[in-house]
Amino acid sequence: MTKRALEQPSAAARPSPLSAHLRRLEAESIAIIREVAAEFAHPVMLYSIGKDSGVMLHLAAKAFYPSKLPFPLLHVDTTWKFRDMIRHRDQIAERYGAKLLVYVNEEGLARGVNPIASGSSLHTQVMKTEALKKALDTFGFDAAFGGARRDEEKSRAKERIFSFRAAGHVWDPRNQRPELWRLYNTKIRQGESIRVFPLSNWTELDIWEYTRAENIPVVPLYFAAPRPVVNRNGLLIMRDDDRLPLLPGEREEIRKVRFRSLGCYPLSAAIESNAETLDDIIAEMRASRTSERQGRLIDTDEAASMEKKKREGYF
Amino acid sequence: MRATAPQHPSVNGKSLLRFLTCGSVDDGKSTLIGRLLYDTKLIFDDQLATLEKDSKKHGTTGEEIDFALLVDGLEAEREQGITIDVAYRFFTTDKRSFIVADTPGHEQYTRNMATGASNSDAAVILIDARKGVLTQTKRHSYICALLGIRHVVVAVNKIDLMGYSRQVFEHIVEDYRAFAAALGFASITPIPISARYGDNVTTRSASMDWYQGPTLLDWLEDIDVDTDLAAKPLRLPIQWVNRPNLDFRGFSGTIVSGAVRPGDKVVVASSAKESRVKRIVTFDGDLAEARAGEAVTLTLEDEIDIARGDVITLTTERPEVTDQFAAHVLWMADEAMLPERQYLMRIGCRYVPARITALKHKVDVNTLQHLAGKTLELNEIGFCNVSTATAVAIDPYVDNRDTGAFILIDRFTNATVGAGMIDFGLRRATNVHRQDLSVNKAARSRIKGHKPAVLWFTGLSGSGKSTIANIIEQKLNARGIHTYMLDGDNLRHGLNRDLGFTDADRVENIRRVGEVAKLFTDAGVVVLCSFISPFRAERRMVRELMAEGEFVEIFVDTPIEECMRRDPKGLYARAKEGKIKNFTGIDSPYEPPELAEITVHSHHTGAEAAATRILDYLEASGIV
């Protein structure tokens, strides 16, 4: 590929035209993304490397074409992401010609917070939620895109597309701004911010169908392959490096697995699967009887745990 | 308007229906949505396991699954067993995709219900079979109608608790239809259901042989709500100006209605600047045509000034551009709406300072009656005159939801406090692009040595308006003040020759007088207007045409008995004989002013003294 092609990805070679449904979703998301660029002084797009982030970034490229993205990408790195994810992140930033910021909560690292010794809850709190808030404050961002979808989780189903955060990034679910028509209220005062969710009305299946139709690159971990995993409390955890110690009685085995959702590797459970292509994944999803967040260990810590994390500033 | 092709068939053959569920508290809205998700296999095994666990903890259904817990996603909602905020859920069948907004029933969360309705094309209004039509049923039905929903299902729920009774169902339906007749829905479809047990939700009930209509899901899959937006006039609100380099200047936005092609002659609605479309640019290549719903970037043949918030349209399909319009406003804040307070309006992609200049009436949503009022409290709906700091492109809400809707934002807290739906513009002349003349009102006023003003004399026929106005004009003229007298008789012989005396003609008569008076004030003249002008609304309309302090309302408060005794033109006598119809004070009402600057009782004081009082006022207020 020429350098120009790298900078300006094009969907010219895509296999199938978009369905009316996906075109509707695409247009709605583009309008939301443009709105932020037009109204905010310092927007940023949270890029988590997953399939949703991939779609969101692709939509942003479409929204501003032929201009480049008028905002940077931000990845909050917990230092426990799969190695494949980090590789993918750097390739994608280059492919879309985007400015990529990576933020690590060094203070948390220095305190030795990690998902294994500290537990998923503290690790997420310090290395994701607090890290995110510090990053937003450090760079002075007044609007931040997130790839969350309303079908993921029931407190997300209640959140606005333009979701207001008081100073300190606090979300007050009982006092959200009414959001009528497409008339988003983008007005904030100093210190306040808005989280914006352009994929609110997408479902997991929409994401995969769009990814296929638009040839959007995804992390290889979404496709089934033989991988080294341990069975811990019935969940298959992949040993991405040797920081994950084996507990007594545990042994590493090679199984053909893939991930429906990607996060920190010790906190993301794999599923056994033979889905090696996007077509396979879509077929598997249609037949699935479990939700995608089932493999996310942070959600099951306590009842209403997502809402609690969101109120504290988690995406 | 160009002919349009049929809607694009989707690859998977499915259309989208956005609908909401509404109704009173505990009518079972969330349960119904849970049931729909469950029956259409949209609930996953791990979610079901969580649901069973939650049902035991928070549920209200004993040992059975409480479907409401699937959608009541907030902790506070689960604890209280109520829905607070609107939740959006998605499900799909072989025929259609659905986005359902589950909206709260409590009156205090009405604004959240309206939020759900603003993005929906159909509504499922639930009624508890045990309770029948309640206040909230009416409130929600009215809001649905106001927000433009044309097709509703009346789902009479919990029919199982009433023994699946046909009489109960029919009685409720009759009640509902009686109320809803005034709302103008295109269709009302009543369905007896049990959300808890699934009767007539997705499958036909085995317990209600007497019901032959569709199940709820049948209706949702089949209802035709297609409004062919692509066939409407082109409206492209510009969101963002796309300038990657000096050689490219594009205008990005989502086409909200109509269609556009390269070569089309387009115009910026507010500035009337014209050009032709050069290209329709997208990431996937240039388009030969773009239609409603598509997010595009246009480039134009000419370098014309276009900014965010402007609306691009075809030269043949221009919207009204005005700074005054009438609208229904739903108030959504604890702090009441105050007329004349400045709010920030968002309409399309534009923010503009705006005031509600007059609350014409409030609507009692239970009875649909019009109530007088000065302010709007939380969840109240009013019919208002709205004035914006600069002219904006508008369409009536019934024609276009995107260009006919606005929100109001508190200028201090930035909270969204009001939602409005435009009924009509109040100054149609502003369709004509006004010329900015260098010699203006202030310049004209300066060489005259006095300010312009409108002295508006209102009162019954024979009250002495013209007599007093004549005295004042003589005195002003003697002092070198430029005046002009407009009165009913001289205008009705010329400009208003085509108008009669029906209420509508009286309104138009006053509107024209107002516009003429405005031109005279623009010329720097003190205009004396002597008109019965019986309706407050029209006097207010004229007042609002003028600058602050320019309009002086003078109520010549002579009792009707005295006017009839004088009867200078013999009109009362003829009206009483029935020879004149719609005569003010006889068979047509006179609404006395509430806030006239001056009230005179010339039948006591005499016309000369009344004139002196008025002159004193003009001096005191610095007009002369």
In terms of Cβ atoms closer than 10 Å to its own Cβ (0-12, 13-18, 19+), residue A245 is exposed
Instruction: Indicate which of A57, A162, A183 best probes the interface with B, i.e. most B CBs within 10 Å of its own CB.
Output: A183
Question: B241 to chain A: nearest residue by CA?
Answer: A38
- Establish if A304 touches chain B: CB-CB under 8 angstroms: yes
Residue type at position B133: V
**Residue B564 belongs to what H/E stretch?**
helix B560-566
Residues B366 and B409 occupy one common structural domain: yes
Q: Quote the minimal CA–CA distance from A164 to chain B in Å.
A: 10
Residue numbers of A between 151 and 190 with CB closer than 8 Å to B? 151, 153-158, 173-174, 176-183, 185, 187-189
Nearest to A62 among B72, B112, B283 (CB): B283
φ, ψ at B96 (rounded to 5°): -155, 155
Provide, as residue numbers in chain B, all residues whose Cβ is less than 8 Å from the Cβ of A21.
10, 12, 14, 16, 97
What is the greatest pairwise CA distance in chain B?
A: 93
Q: From the CA of A237, how many Å to the nearest CA of chain B?
A: 19
Residues A172-192: tens digit of each pLDDT: 877 788 899 999 999 998 888
B329 assigned to some structural domain: yes
**B343 and B216 both lie in a single domain:** no
Supply the CATH number for residue B534's domain.
3.40.50.300
Question: Which pLDDT tens digit goes with each residue over A58-68?
Answer: 999 999 999 99
Kindly state whether residue B577 falls inside one of the protein's structural domains. yes
Chain B partners within 8 Å of A67 (Cβ): 242-244
CA-based nearest residue to A50, from A268, A274, A233:
A268
Question: How much is the pLDDT for A101?
Answer: 94
Same domain, B160 and B291: no
Residue B407: its pLDDT value, please? 97
Are B271 and B326 found together in one domain?
Answer: no
Asked, for residue B377, whether it belongs to a domain, the answer is yes
In A, minimum Cα distance to B411 occurs at A187
B554's tokens:
């003078």
Q: Flag whether residue A303 sits within 8 Å of chain B, measured between CB atoms.
A: yes
Nearest-Cα distance to chain A for B414, in Å, is 6
Which residues in B lie closer than 8 A to residue A180 (C-beta atoms)?
114-115, 118-119, 405, 407, 416, 419
Q: Which of A183, A189, A304 sits opposite B75 (nearest CB)?
A: A304
Identify the closest residue of chain B to A295 by CA–CA distance.
B46
- Quote the domain boundaries for residue B401: 320-425
- Which uninterrupted H or E stretch holds B115? helix B110-118
A183: chain B residues, CB-CB within 8 Å: 346-347, 405-407
- Nearest Cα of chain A lies from the Cα of B380 at a distance, in angstroms, of 15
Q: Do B540 and B510 sit in the same domain of this protein? A: yes
Interface A–B counts its CB contacts (< 8 A) at: 176
B563-to-B488, B603, B611 alpha-carbon distances in Å: 17, 9, 19
Which of B314, B344, B369 is the last residue before a domain boundary? B314
B81 and B108 share one domain: yes
Residues of A in contact with B118 (CB under 8 A): 180-181
CB neighbour list of residue B596: distance below 8 Å, 6 or more residues apart: B458, B553, B554, B555
Q: Which of B284, B314, B344 is the last residue of a domain?
A: B314
Q: What is the dihedral of CA B67, B68, B72, B73, to 10 degrees?
A: -10
Q: Are residues B602 and B454 in the same domain?
A: yes
Contact check, Cβ <8 Å, A26/B295 = yes
Q: How far apart are CA A57 and CA A46, in angstroms?
A: 9
B387 is catalytic: no
Q: What pLDDT is stored for residue A60 in this prediction?
A: 97
The DSSP symbol for B207 reads S
- How many angstroms separate the CA of residue B264 from the nearest CA in chain A? 22
Q: How confident is the model at residue A244 (pLDDT cuts 50, 70, 90)?
A: confident
Judgement on whether residues B247 and B289 belong to the same structural domain of the protein: yes
Q: Which residues of chain B have pLDDT under 50?
A: 1-12, 429-436
Alpha carbon distance B333, B356 (integer Å): 15
Please determine, for residue A92, whether its predicted confidence score (pLDDT) is greater than 70.
Answer: yes
Lowest mean pLDDT across A280-289, A295-304, B267-276, B530-539: A295-304
> How many Å lie between the alpha carbon of A295 and the closest alpha carbon of chain B?
10
Chain B residues in contact with A27 (beta carbon < 8 A): 254, 293-295
Q: How far apart are CA B110 and CA B380, in angstroms?
A: 9
Structure token digits, residue A97: 């010609």
Report yes or no: A263 and A269 within 8 Å, Cβ to Cβ.
Answer: no
Dist CA B543 CA B387 (whole Å): 13
Q: Mark whether B164 and B268 lie in a shared domain.
A: no
Contact across the interface for A183 and B407, Cβ inside 8 Å: yes
Cis link prior to A66 (omega < 30° from 0)?
yes
Question: What's the whole-number average pLDDT of chain A?
Answer: 85
Q: What local confidence, expressed as pLDDT, does residue B97 receive?
A: 86
Q: Which two tokens stand for residue B259?
A: 């269609």
B345 in the same domain as B304: no
Nearest Cβ partner for A174 among B84, B282, B308: B84
More confident residue, A84 or A302: A84
Closest partner residue to A178 (CB to CB) among B9, B111, B252 is B111
Q: Which of B193, B222, B251 is a domain's end point?
A: B222
Residue B438 lies in a domain: no
Catalytic residue among B30, B55, B466, B533: B533
Q: Which of A31, A68, A188 sits opposite B254 (nearest CB)?
A: A31
CB A90 within 8 Å of CB A100? yes
Nearest to B455 by CA among B445, B475, B469: B469
Q: CA torsion angle for B145, B147, B151, B155 (degrees, to 10)? A: -70
- The CA-atom distances, in angstroms, between A219 and each of A8, A260, B21, B192, B234 are 20, 11, 39, 50, 42
Q: Which of B239, B395, B397 to mutate to probe the A interface, most A CBs <10 Å?
A: B239
pLDDT of residue A295: 55
- One domain for residues B62 and B186: yes
B503-522 helix and B536-545 helix, angle to the nearest 10 degrees: 20
Q: How far apart, in whole angstroms, are the C-alpha atoms of residue A21 and residue A210? A: 10
Q: Give Cα B226 to chain centroid, integer Å.
A: 22
Cα–chain center distance at A140: 21
Q: Cβ contacts (< 8 Å) between B350 and chain A: which residues?
A: none
Query: Tell me, what's the pLDDT at A310?
Result: 67
Question: Distance, in angstroms, between A116 CA and closest chain B CA?
Answer: 25
Tell me phi and psi for residue A165, to 5 degrees: -120, 125
For residue B434, tell me if it sits in a domain: no
Q: What is the mean pLDDT of residues A282-301?
A: 64
List the single residue in A with minimal CA-CA distance to B418.
Answer: A178
The whole-number pLDDT of residue B341 equals 82
Residue B443 included in any domain: no
Task: Write out pLDDT tens, residues B369-386.
Answer: 899 988 899 989 999 999
CA A271: distance to chain centroid?
Answer: 19
Q: How far is A202 from chain B (nearest CA, A)?
A: 9
Residue B140: name the closest of B196, B102, B174 by CA.
Answer: B102
What's this model's pTM, rounded to 2 decimal places?
0.73
Q: Which of B74, B293, B409 sits opposite A185 (nearest CB)?
A: B409
Residue B491 domain-assigned (yes or no)? yes
| Predicted ipTM of the assembly | 0.86
Question: Is A158–B86 a contact, with Cβ atoms under 8 angstroms apart?
Answer: yes
Number of domains chain B is built from = 4
A 93-122 near B (Cβ less than 8 A): none
Tokens, residue A251: 């042994």
CATH code: domain of residue B272: 2.40.30.10
Confirm whether B431 is domain-assigned.
no
Q: Which of B90, B97, B416 sits opposite A177 (nearest CB)?
A: B416
User: In terms of domains, do B244 and B162 share one?
Assistant: no
Q: At what angle do helices B607-620 and B465-478 cross, to 10 degrees?
A: 50
Residue B407: closest C-alpha in chain A: A183
Nearest by CB to residue A154, choosing from B71, B282, B416, is B71
At residue A254, φ and ψ (nearest 5 deg) are -95, 120
A154/B282 CB distance under 8 A: no
Contact B165, B193 (CB under 8 A): no
